[in-house]
Structure 1
Amino acid sequence: MPKPLQQAPAILDGPGVEVSDPHGLLLGYLDWYRHALMRKVAGLSDDQLRTPVEPLGWSPLGLIKHLGWVERRWMRWGFAAEDLLAYPPGGDEAEWNVPAEQPTGSVLDAYRAEVERSRALAADAVLTDSARIGGRFRRPEDAPTLGRILFHLLQEYARHVGQLDVARELIDGQTGE
């Protein structure tokens, strides 16, 4: 008896092939990487999420925490010019490390909240809209467009999700796409 055919893998990652406008492509790929981040940590124990991976020096949960801050800095403080804390007290050390008393769920919830806020800001704007003045950007000539900010976020995710592939392989041998 022949083996049943398995579903073929998707030809393209990211948004569907019907998406061709730059706004939809950027948002679609950004969401694809956000989901890839969560797929790559799925199945890890709390200890595996929180333990720094050597020789990298950061934990998967620390990477998620960092990306939440990246979303916050570029979309809320940058694009929307919200008056908020853009960097945690303690700098990079605090941004990448998760203290033992900080629950895993609170890190994930904070990350998801930043993503939802970013999505809302991007959904109601066009790629040529410039960042508002007053947050990260003090002068109009320094304010990038939404398109440039989204492209920056996309490259941040692509780089960090690739690094997470390496971390996951070091943790338990799992490899991804």
Structure 2
Amino acid sequence: MQRSPEQVPALLDGPGVDVSDTRELLLGYLEWYRETLMRKLSGLSEDQLRTPVHPLGWSPLGLVQHLGWVERRWMRWGFAAADVLAYPPGGDEAEWSVSAGTPTAEVMAAYREEVSAATSLATAANLTDKAGHGGRFQSPDQAPSLGRILFHLLQEYARHVGQLDVARELIDGETGE
């Protein structure tokens, strides 16, 4: 049976098939995963966004909050060596849990702010530029290149967006790319 053009799956996700520049690929796939995160949250009710998924132990909104902290740690505190809070008071539990009094819009705005800061830093630097020292990295010999940091962020998103696939299927049966 022949498929219609709408039924044929895309050959590749992320940047276009003609993109081969390493910088464009890293930044393009990172953006694609950020957008995929938002697509996977689309259609969830406020309660579904906030309720921890059994047996995973975290809520979809908690995952967004965590990824905002990941962006901050690797780009602002890590690459830029900025004097910012790198971990929330309360550690992992606070990073993954959203209190009932915290509006969803506030969590999403904080996430978008970190993505915007990370994107600005990444687009203003070369992949070979080394991270500053004094933040996450205390000496030049500990400091990775921007390319290495972006690769790490990419794998963080790939892993967590895959986990969100599982969470979404457990929540409401939705599956997909």
Q: Smaller-chain TM-score range?
A: over 0.9
Q: 1:128 aligns to what?
A: 128
1:11 Cα deviation after fit: 1.3
- Relative to structure 1, the CA distance from residue 17 to residue 4 in structure 2 (aligned partners, 3 Å threshold; closer, same or farther) is closer
Query: 1-side partners of 2:74 and 2:137: how far apart?
Result: 10
% identical equivalent positions: 73
Query: 2-side partners of 1:5 and 1:131: how far apart?
Result: 45
- Say how many residue pairs are matched: 175
TM-score (norm. length: structure 2): 0.96
1:5 Cα deviation after fit: 4.9
Q: 1:173 aligns to what?
A: 173
SS at match of 1:6: helix
SS at match of 2:15: coil
1:7 Cα deviation after fit: 6.1
Map residues 56-75 of structure 1 onto 2, 5 A cutoff: 56-75=56-75
Query: 1-side partners of 2:28 and 2:5: how far apart?
Result: 29
TM-score (norm. length: structure 1): 0.96
Q: 2:76 aligns to what?
A: 76
Map residues 1-177 of structure 1 onto 2, 5 A cutoff: 5-6=5-6, 8-177=8-177
Question: What amino acid is the match of 2:118?
Answer: S
Question: What amino acid is the match of 2:82?
Answer: E
1:9 Cα deviation after fit: 3.1
Query: 1-side partners of 2:164 and 2:92: how far apart?
Result: 18
- Relative to structure 1, the CA distance from residue 90 to residue 10 in structure 2 (aligned partners, 3 Å threshold; closer, same or farther) is same
Unaligned 5+ segments in structure 2 are none
Moved more, 59-68 or 15-24: 15-24
1:79 Cα deviation after fit: 0.1
1:4 Cα deviation after fit: 6.8
Question: What amino acid is the match of 2:76?
Answer: R
Question: What amino acid is the match of 2:168?
Answer: R
Unaligned 5+ segments in structure 1 are none
1:75 Cα deviation after fit: 0.2
Question: What amino acid is the match of 1:53?
Answer: V
Give CA-to-partner distance per residue, 1:3-44, whole Å, 9 cap, x none.
975364321101112211111100000011000100001000
The RMSD of aligned alpha carbons is: 1.2
Question: What amino acid is the match of 2:122?
Answer: A
